[in-house]
C-alpha cells in the first residue's frame, strides 16, 4: 500500500476541518432570485416573444380583412292574438333556456340559410364560392376512389348552394345575450354593405320560417278537424236516438231528471227514518217507566211527570197545605179540628197527584204502541216499492250507459266544432313569435383580424412561454455557478473565483512577445522567455491589479494560513474533468508563491496531457518520468524561471501509457516527492483530472493538501459530487475548491457581491484587464 513519506509527521486533527458533503438542494426561489433568473436567461425569454410576434405579424399580413354586422332579434314568448282563441295549433314559445337555445340553433339551420342564399344569390358571389386550397388535389384523388360522396345524385346547382351555405355558416355567429330573450345574428364579410345585408336577410328568413311553419301546421290541423267533425256529428245523432228509444220501450218516465219510481222511493225512505226515530223515543220512555215500576221507585221522577204542568201545580198546592198543617199543629196541637181538616186536604191532594202520574204512565205505553205500528206500516210499503224498483233497475243501468255515451259524443263534437272554427280563423292570420329589435347597420371598422388583440396575445403568450422556458432551463441547469453552490455540494470551503480573461486581452499581451521572437532559439530545452510564454500562465504577476490576480492571492492566502498551523509540503491542484483551468491555476499559484521568496517547485504530474510542459518548456528533454526511473538526476531535470524564482519539473511525452499508471502506483514517485520535500518549502502538482483517470487519485494519496478546480458554468453538480466521493479516503486533506473561468459580467445574475458590478468601484482599470468579454 502506498503511504506518504515525509520528514515531518502528518498530524491528523482530532476533528477533521472538512465538513461532510451534503446532497445539493435547490434553494427556495424568492422574487429577487426570480429576477436574476430572468435577467441571466433573457435570451430564452425574448426568443418565444420574437417567434410568436413574427408569426402574428405574418398572419396579420396574410389574413383577409372582414367586417361584421349584427342584427338583434327578440324571441318574444308572448303572442299577439287578433282573433280571440283559447289555444293556437302551435303554442307560444316557452320561457325556459332550452327553448331560447333551440331558436338560436334554428336561426343557424340549413333551412333558413338556404332561403338567404337563394334570395341574395350568394352562389354567384365570389366570396361565397370555395377557394382552391393546397389539399384540393388530394381530396379529388380520394373522391375518385370513393364509392359515394356527398354530391352523388345532386345537381351542380344544389352542390353550389350547399357550399355557399357551408361558407355562410362559418361566417355567421348567433349568440344569446346572457339570460335574456335577445339573440344577436352576427355575419362577417369582406364588404361592410354585404355583411349588413346578409344579417338582415337572415333575420327576415327566420321570421318567414316561423310564419310558414305555423301556417302549414294550421292548415293540416283544419283539414283533419273537418273530417273528424262529420264523423262525430253522425255519432251524436245516433247516440241520442238510442236513448229516447230505450226509455220509451222500458216506460222509464223522467221528472226533473229522475224517474217517478225513484222519487217515491226516496220520500218513503225519508218517512221511515223519521218513524224509526219516534219509535225509539217512545220505547225509551216506556222502558223507563217499567224500570221504575219494577224497582218500586217513585214514578213521579220520570221526565213526563216532572215536565207536566198539572203535577207541578198539585205539588205546589201539596207543599202549601203541608206547611199550613205544620203551623196549625204547632199552634193548636195534633187533635185540633183545624189540623184534622188540613190533614184531610193534604191526603186529597196526594191522591190527585198519584192519579195524574198513573194517567201519564198509561199514555207512555199508548204512544209507544202507536209509533211501532206506524213504523211497521212504512216498512211494508217501502219493501213493496223496492220490489218494483228492482225489476226496473237493469233497464235504468242500460239507460244511464246510453246517456253517458250520448253525452260524451256530444261534448267531443262541440269541442271539435269550436276548435275547427278557431283554426279556420287563424289559418289566414299567422304572425311570427319573434320580432327584430335592431337592424344590422353598415360597420365602419373591420372586426377581423384583431390586430392589437393578436399582437397582445402573442406578446403575453411569448412572455409566458419564455418565462417558463427560462425557469425550466435554469432549474434543469446542473452546472456550478456560485461559490455557495460549490461549498454546499463539496462540503469544503470555496476559496476563490478566478475570472475569465477575454481573448482581446490575451491577444494584447501576446503581442508584447513579438520582439523576443528574433532572438528565440526554437530548439532550446529550457523554459520559454516570459514574453513568449502564454499570457494566461503569467497573468497574475504581469497584471497584479486585476481580479484574476486578486483571486490567485486569495488562494495563496488560504494556503499560507494552513501552512502556519499545519506542516504542508505537497499541494495537489486537480479537477473533476479536463479543461477546467487547473493548469492555469497551478502555474499562477506557484508563481505567486515564488514571488514571495518561498522555494516552490511546480511539477507537471499530468503525464498523459502535460499542459504545464507545453506552456512553459515544450522542448524539455527530461522530466518526472526520467527522474523517477533514474535516467536523469533531479537537479538536471528541474528548470528555473529566473524572473520569479519558480522551479519547474516538466513531463515529457510518453507513448507507452501503461508506464504512467505503473509509475503513479510505484514507490518511485514516492521517492521523487520525498527527495523534493527536503529541498523545497512547497511543491505544487498539476495532476490529471479525477473522474476519467485514476492517476490523480493516486497523487491525492501522496499530497498534504488538495485544491479542486471547478470550471464556472461548466462543471456539473453531479460530477463534483462524484469527484468528492472519489476523494473520500483523503477527504481531510481537501483544502477547498476554486471556481475558474468565471464571467464576472454574468456572475452578477448569480452572485451579485462577487460580480463585476459589485467590484467595479474598487478597480475600474483592472476590470477591463481581467473581466470576461
Residues 509-527, mean pLDDT to the nearest whole number: 76
Say if residue 532's pLDDT is above 90: no
Say if residue 19's pLDDT is above 50: no
Q: Determine the pLDDT at residue 3.
A: 36
Contact 167, 128 (CB under 8 A): yes
Tens digits of per-residue pLDDT, 466-476? 999 988 988 88
Residues 39-45, mean pLDDT to the nearest whole number: 86
- Cα-based torsion angle of the residue sequence 652, 658, 660, 664 in order, rounded to the nearest 10 degrees: -170
Residues 25-49, mean pLDDT to the nearest whole number: 79
Q: Determine the pLDDT at residue 29.
A: 54
CA angle 626, 630, 634 (to 5 degrees): 70
**Range of 320-334, 387-401, 742-756 with top mean pLDDT:** 320-334
CA distance linking residue 542 with residue 473, whole number of Å: 39
Of 80 and 194, the structure prediction assigns the larger pLDDT to 194
Of 486 and 363, the structure prediction assigns the larger pLDDT to 486
Say if residue 650's pLDDT is above 80: yes
Tens digits of per-residue pLDDT, 247-271? 777 656 665 556 666 677 777 778 8
Q: What is the mean pLDDT of the chain?
A: 80
Give DSSP secondary structure letters for 354-379. Answer: HHHHHHHHHHHHHHHHHHHHHHHHHH
**Range of 309-318, 333-342, 611-620 with top mean pLDDT:** 611-620
Say if residue 244's pLDDT is above 90: no
| 734: confidence class by pLDDT, cuts 50, 70, 90 | very high
Helices (H), 172-259: 192-249
Say if residue 440's pLDDT is above 50: yes
Say if residue 772's pLDDT is above 60: no
Q: Determine the pLDDT at residue 142.
A: 65
Say if residue 432's pLDDT is above 80: no
DSSP 498: E
Q: Determine the pLDDT at residue 557.
A: 94
Say if residue 7's pLDDT is above 60: no
Residues 545-559, mean pLDDT to the nearest whole number: 93
| 78: confidence class by pLDDT, cuts 50, 70, 90 | low
CA distance linking residue 8 with residue 682, whole number of Å: 13
Residues 133-139, mean pLDDT to the nearest whole number: 63
Burial grade of 658 (CB within 10 A; 0-12, 13-18, 19 or more) = exposed
Of 382 and 558, the structure prediction assigns the larger pLDDT to 558
Contact 615, 639 (CB under 8 A): no
Give DSSP secondary structure letters for 205-223. Answer: HHHHHHHHHHHHHHHHHHH
List Cβ neighbours of 513 (8 Å cut-off, separation of 6 or more). 529, 531, 532, 533
| 286: confidence class by pLDDT, cuts 50, 70, 90 | confident
| 148: confidence class by pLDDT, cuts 50, 70, 90 | very low
Say if residue 295's pLDDT is above 70: no
Which among 364, 357, 371 has a CA at the least distance from the CA of 297? Answer: 357
Of 415 and 396, the structure prediction assigns the larger pLDDT to 415
| 768: confidence class by pLDDT, cuts 50, 70, 90 | very low
Helix axes 695-702, 667-677, angle to 10 degrees: 40
Residues 6-30, mean pLDDT to the nearest whole number: 45
Q: Determine the pLDDT at residue 770.
A: 42
**Range of 232-236, 273-277, 506-510, 728-732 with top mean pLDDT:** 728-732
CA distance linking residue 378 with residue 368, whole number of Å: 16
Q: Determine the pLDDT at residue 80.
A: 47
Q: Determine the pLDDT at residue 153.
A: 55
Q: Determine the pLDDT at residue 689.
A: 94
Burial grade of 396 (CB within 10 A; 0-12, 13-18, 19 or more) = middle
Of 198 and 317, the structure prediction assigns the larger pLDDT to 198
Predicted model pTM: 0.56
Amino acid at each position: 500500500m502506498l503511504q506518504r513519506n515525509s520528514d515531518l509527521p502528518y498530524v491528523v486533527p482530532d476533528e477533521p476541518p472538512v465538513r461532510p458533503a451534503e446532497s445539493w438542494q435547490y434553494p427556495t426561489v424568492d422574487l429577487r432570485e426570480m429576477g436574476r433568473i430572468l435577467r441571466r436567461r433573457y435570451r430564452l425569454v425574448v426568443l418565444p416573444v420574437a417567434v410568436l410576434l413574427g408569426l402574428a405579424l405574418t398572419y396579420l399580413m396574410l389574413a383577409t380583412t372582414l367586417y361584421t354586422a349584427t342584427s338583434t332579434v327578440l324571441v318574444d314568448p308572448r303572442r299577439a292574438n287578433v282573433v280571440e282563441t283559447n289555444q293556437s295549433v302551435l303554442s307560444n314559445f316557452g320561457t325556459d333556456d332550452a327553448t331560447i337555445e333551440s331558436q338560436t340553433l334554428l336561426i343557424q339551420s340549413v333551412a333558413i340559410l338556404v332561403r338567404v342564399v337563394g334570395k341574395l344569390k350568394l352562389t354567384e358571389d365570389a366570396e361565397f364560392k370555395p377557394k382552391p386550397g393546397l389539399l384540393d388535389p388530394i381530396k379529388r384523388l380520394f373522391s375518385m376512389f370513393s364509392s359515394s360522396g356527398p354530391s352523388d345524385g345532386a345537381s351542380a346547382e344544389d352542390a353550389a348552394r350547399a357550399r355557399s351555405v357551408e361558407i355562410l355558416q362559418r361566417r355567421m355567429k348567433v349568440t344569446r345575450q346572457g339570460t335574456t330573450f335577445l339573440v344577436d345574428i352576427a355575419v362577417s364579410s369582406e364588404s361592410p354593405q354585404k355583411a349588413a345585408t346578409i344579417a338582415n336577410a337572415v333575420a327576415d328568413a327566420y321570421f318567414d320560417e316561423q310564419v310558414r311553419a305555423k301556417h302549414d301546421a294550421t292548415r293540416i290541423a283544419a283539414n283533419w278537424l273537418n273530417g273528424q267533425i262529420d264523423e262525430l256529428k253522425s255519432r251524436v245523432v245516433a247516440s241520442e236516438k238510442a236513448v229516447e228509444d230505450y226509455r220509451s220501450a222500458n216506460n222509464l218516465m223522467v221528472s226533473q231528471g229522475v224517474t217517478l219510481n225513484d222519487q217515491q222511493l226516496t220520500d218513503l225512505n225519508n218517512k221511515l227514518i223519521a218513524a224509526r226515530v219516534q219509535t225509539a223515543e217512545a220505547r225509551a220512555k216506556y222502558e223507563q217507566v217499567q224500570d221504575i215500576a219494577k224497582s218500586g221507585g217513585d214514578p213521579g221522577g220520570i221526565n213526563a211527570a216532572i215536565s207536566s204542568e198539572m203535577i207541578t201545580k198539585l205539588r205546589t198546592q201539596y207543599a202549601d197545605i203541608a206547611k199550613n198543617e205544620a203551623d196549625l199543629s204547632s199552634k193548636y196541637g195534633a187533635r185540633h179540628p183545624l189540623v184534622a181538616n188540613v190533614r184531610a186536604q193534604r191526603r186529597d191532594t196526594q191522591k190527585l197527584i198519584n192519579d195524574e202520574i198513573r194517567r201519564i204512565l198509561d199514555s207512555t205505553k199508548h204512544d209507544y204502541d202507536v209509533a211501532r205500528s206506524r213504523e211497521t206500516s212504512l216498512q211494508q210499503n217501502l219493501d213493496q216499492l223496492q220490489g218494483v224498483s228492482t225489476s226496473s233497475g237493469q233497464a235504468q243501468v242500460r239507460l244511464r250507459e246510453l246517456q253517458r255515451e250520448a253525452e260524451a259524443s256530444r261534448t267531443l263534437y262541440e269541442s271539435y266544432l269550436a276548435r275547427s272554427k278557431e283554426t279556420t280563423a287563424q289559418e289566414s292570420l299567422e304572425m311570427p313569435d319573434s320580432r327584430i329589435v335592431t337592424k344590422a347597420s353598415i360597420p365602419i371598422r373591420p372586426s377581423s383580424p384583431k390586430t392589437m388583440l393578436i399582437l397582445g396575445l402573442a406578446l403575453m403568450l411569448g412572455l409566458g412561454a419564455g418565462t417558463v422556458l427560462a425557469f425550466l432551463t435554469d432549474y434543469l441547469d446542473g452546472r456550478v455557478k456560485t461559490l455557495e453552490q460549490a461549498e454546499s455540494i463539496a462540503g469544503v470551503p470555496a476559496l476563490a473565483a478566478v475570472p475569465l480573461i477575454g481573448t482581446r486581452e490575451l491577444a494584447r499581451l501576446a503581442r508584447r512577445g513579438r520582439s523576443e521572437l528574433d532572438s528565440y532559439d526554437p530548439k532550446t530545452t529550457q523554459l520559454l522567455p516570459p514574453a513568449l510564454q502564454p499570457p494566461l500562465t503569467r497573468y497574475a504577476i504581469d497584471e497584479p491589479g486585476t481580479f484574476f490576480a486578486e483571486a490567485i492571492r486569495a488562494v495563496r492566502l488560504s494556503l499560507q494560513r494552513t501552512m502556519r498551523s499545519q506542516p504542508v509540503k505537497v499541494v495537489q491542484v486537480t479537477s473533476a474533468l479536463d479543461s477546467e483551468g487547473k493548469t492555469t491555476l497551478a502555474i499562477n499559484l506557484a508563481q505567486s508563491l515564488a514571488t514571495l521568496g518561498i522555494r516552490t517547485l511546480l511539477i507537471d504530474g499530468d503525464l498523459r496531457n502535460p499542459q504545464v510542459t507545453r506552456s512553459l518548456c515544450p522542448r524539455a528533454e527530461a522530466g518526472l518520468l526520467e527522474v523517477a526511473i533514474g535516467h536523469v538526476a533531479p537537479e538536471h531535470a528541474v528548470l528555473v524561471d529566473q524572473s520569479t524564482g519558480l522551479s519547474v519539473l516538466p513531463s515529457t511525452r510518453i507513448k507507452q501509457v501503461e508506464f504512467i499508471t505503473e509509475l503513479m502506483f510505484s514507490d518511485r514517485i514516492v521517492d521523487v516527492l520525498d527527495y523534493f520535500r527536503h529541498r523545497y518549502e512547497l511543491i505544487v502538482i498539476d495532476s490529471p483530472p479525477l473522474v476519467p483517470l485514476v492517476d490523480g487519485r493516486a497523487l491525492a494519496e501522496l499530497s498534504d493538501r488538495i485544491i479542486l478546480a471547478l470550471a464556472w458554468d461548466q462543471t456539473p453538480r453531479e460530477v463534483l459530487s462524484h469527484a468528492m466521493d472519489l476523494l473520500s479516503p483523503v477527504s481531510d486533506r481537501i483544502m477547498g475548491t476554486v471556481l475558474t473561468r468565471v464571467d464576472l459580467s454574468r456572475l452578477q445574475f448569480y452572485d451579485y457581491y462577487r460580480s463585476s458590478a459589485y467590484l467595479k468601484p474598487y478597480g475600474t482599470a483592472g476590470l477591463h484587464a481581467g473581466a470576461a468579454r
